[in-house]
Amino acid sequence: MSIPPELCARCKGYKRLCKLPRCPILESFQAQVRTYMRLRGLDAHGSTPPSILVGEFGYPKVKIYYMVPVGVFGDNARLYEDPVGWSIRGESLANIIKFRSELLSGEVQVSIDKPEILYEKEFGLAGLSVDPVDSEVKLAKPPIPTLRFDGLTKPLGPRAPANTIKITSNPKIPLQVEKIIWDDLKAVEAIRDLYFNNVDIYTIQRLLSLGFLGRIHRRRIVPTRWSITAVDDTISRILRSKLRGRPEVQESELYYNEYLGNRFLILVKPGPGRFEWIEIWQPRSFWVRSSSKPIIWRVEENTRGEATAMDGGFSAARLAVLEVLSRVNRIGDTIIIREITPGYYAPVGNWHIRETVRRTLAKPIAKNITIKELKDVIKTKIDYNPEDLISRIRLLRNEVKLTDYT
């Protein structure tokens, strides 16, 4: 069976548009990656960074993967799950894959409507910690040495069912987090509180996924990939509503950056607050291996935050843009071009989009540029015909306004 690469660029292993139970691209890829294991016997000791993944297969009975780097303790363990740090240091794709493959997972099956179990068993609390937490995982059988990939979450290393998981040091839980998990607050309100108290977004995602947020009797465990986009979208909605009625940015600014074989060219210009997301998948890049020409995927979002498609990558990027606009308290139209080169040979989660866009927006490479100048920039930065690309961008077209008719 052949699957059109256009479908894969849109799906990214997430929506299973090909209707196969598991993504064949991911399956064939994971077998090629070697895992590194330091485990002898069935007892694994180490500090979780923290890194806890909630799976989605079998929902509402899902698996929780509690991850420890075997034999690595304290601050040294932080490296194994550190999206912000990885991004700042410019960690290579090979290194990130290596870290993830060294994380051993103990699996526990839980029912999503019983989040209190994670609390009682204490290991759920490790997920709230800002520092690594020493843990002991006793496995029921030797782990399978594979690495599993997914478009949204970080790769998942060798894993085996766990008999017991114990934490042996105290999790360091920030005060605001400690307070909020006992509040009978809707999840949306809790996320707002945490975010404006500067709790890191990855901690909020973990809190939501481990069932620590929401009205007390209605809490649920949420699969990690769902919680990632849920948190991105919730915070974006909050930021958007705060920006409503603010003045527009005064000049257009162009930004560029690249990381992990992904290039981002971002234009923020005066406008009422719309988004346009254009992905260019180069031939032989990850999801479109079989394609001989670049594949384009696009999402548009209007001023009310209604998008033409759900896309986890777009959600992550949009959040980073709205954060910057909120800082200057202005609205604007944003065009994000993401080019994926064959250098991005393994998907490691959408965190890198969020973090790269955040860093990209730190400093513009040009201001108030004309279409012609933009064409020249595209020529040097993006491997795609500039005329064709610009003609595809809706937000660059001359728009007819009703005020022109009075």
Partner 1 sequence: MFKLHFKDATIWRNMIASVEKILDEGVFAATPDGISLRALDTSHVVMIDIFYPREAFIEYEVEGERVDVGISFSVLSKILRRAGKNDELVLGVEGNNLLVEFRGRGSRLFKVPLINLVYEKLPEPRIAFTVKAKMLGSIFRDTINVVKLVADSITFKAFEDKRLLIQGEGDIASTEIELSLEAQTLLEMEVESPDSAKYSVEYFTYMTSASRVADIITIQYAEEAPIKVDLEYTGGGRLTFYVSPRAE
Contacts to partner 1 by CB under 8 A: 244-245, 271-274, 302-304, 308, 394, 397-403, 405-406
DSSP 101-120: HTEEEEEEEEETT-THHHHH
CB of 303 to partner 1, least distance (A): 5
Report residue 160 as tokens: 């085996």
Residue with Cβ nearer partner 1 (92 or 329):
329
Task: Tally Cβ neighbours within 10 Å of residue 59.
Answer: 14
Residues near 405 by Cβ (< 8 Å), separated by ≥ 6?
A: none
Residue with Cβ nearer partner 1 (120 or 404):
404
137 by DSSP, 3-state: which?
strand
Distance of CA 161 to the CA centre of its chain: 26
Q: What is the dihedral of CA 299, 305, 309, 315, to 10 degrees?
A: 80
CB of 249 to partner 1, least distance (A): 14
Residue with Cβ nearer partner 1 (120 or 306):
306
CB of 309 to partner 1, least distance (A): 11
CB of 245 to partner 1, least distance (A): 8
323 by DSSP, 3-state: which?
helix
Residue with Cβ nearer partner 1 (270 or 283):
270
Question: Which residue shows structure tokens 């759900």?
Answer: 310
CB of 304 to partner 1, least distance (A): 8
Residue with Cβ nearer partner 1 (331 or 382):
331
What span, in angstroms and rounded, lies between the C-alpha atoms of 287 and 17?
13
Among residues 197, 105, 200, the alpha carbon closest in space to that of 159 is found at 105
Residue with Cβ nearer partner 1 (304 or 379):
304
Residue with Cβ nearer partner 1 (111 or 391):
391
What span, in angstroms and rounded, lies between the C-alpha atoms of 278 and 274?
13
Residue with Cβ nearer partner 1 (16 or 304):
304
Report residue 131 as tokens: 């520092």
371 within 8 A of 289, measured Cβ to Cβ: no
What span, in angstroms and rounded, lies between the C-alpha atoms of 301 and 291?
28
Kindly provide the b/e burial profile for residues 181-220, where b requires at least 16 CB atoms within 10 angstroms of the residue's own CB. Answer: beeebebeebbbbbbeeebebbbbbbbbbbbbbbeeeebb
Residue with Cβ nearer partner 1 (84 or 393):
393
Report residue 202 as tokens: 């990855």
CB of 72 to partner 1, least distance (A): 49
Residues near 398 by Cβ (< 8 Å), separated by ≥ 6?
A: none
What span, in angstroms and rounded, lies between the C-alpha atoms of 292 and 331?
39
Residue with Cβ nearer partner 1 (19 or 217):
19
Report residue 222 as tokens: 């949420």
Q: What is the 3-state secondary structure (H, E, C) of 148-170?
A: ECCCCCCCECCEEEEEEEEECCC
Residue with Cβ nearer partner 1 (253 or 333):
333
